Amino acid sequence: AAGGLVDFLDMELAYGDEKIRETLRMLENSSVSLIVSFHDFEKTPPKEVLFSTLAAEIRAGAHVAKLAAMPRNEEDVLALLSATLLVRREYPHIPLITMSMGGIGAVSRVTGGLFGSDLSFAVGSKASAPGQIPVAALKQCLSVLHPLES
């Protein structure tokens, strides 16, 4: 970060507020932004927990708040999108990255921007998480949802 080799540093919320504050102090005189993230590869917590987790990331000082969860059913995907929308309305100035993983959650990677997620992940040559869509397919889907922005 000090050498300007990265643009973003991603740190799990689980490291705690003190470690996050320490990292933010380290980044003060750099152009590097801190992503504070939470991943649940087993399940999707309830909407209220998703909201409070993203809010905790923001209160901890995140320049970007990120949350990824594994859905067990379609309602879990809706909970993630709903929580994203609530956080977007409550904290309009903080960039958000949210996604529901796996096949069921792939729709969140396409429609997340409609609910307040500012970034999605796509597959270049090899997926780094379940449910990622190949970049060409994601680009095509996004051009349908956002025809004037493509």
List pLDDT tens digits, range 107-137. Answer: 998 889 889 999 887 777 777 776 777 788 7
Q: Of the residues 19, 39, 93, 126, which is catalytic?
A: 39
Is residue 60 helix, strand or coil? coil
Structural domain boundaries in the chain: 8-145
| pLDDT tens readout for residues 1-58 | 777 789 999 999 999 999 999 999 999 888 899 999 999 999 999 999 999 999 999 9
Secondary structure letter of residue 67 according to DSSP: E
Among residues 54, 74, 63, the alpha carbon closest in space to that of 23 is found at 63
Helices (H), the chain: 17-27, 47-59, 74-90, 102-115, 135-145
What average pLDDT does this structure show over 65-94?
97
What is the average pLDDT across 86-94? 97
Residue 150 has pLDDT above 60, yes or no: no
CB 67 within 8 A of CB 54: yes
* Residues 141 and 110: beta-carbon distance below 8 Å: yes
Neighbour-count burial of 62, counting CB atoms closer than 10 A to its CB (0-12 exposed, 13-18 middle, 19+ buried): buried
Superfamily of structural domain 8-145: Aldolase class I (3.20.20.70)
**Does residue 66 carry a catalytic annotation?**
yes
139 is catalytic: no
Q: What pLDDT was estimated at residue 50? A: 98
The residue annotated as part of the active site, out of 47, 66, 126, 146, is: 66
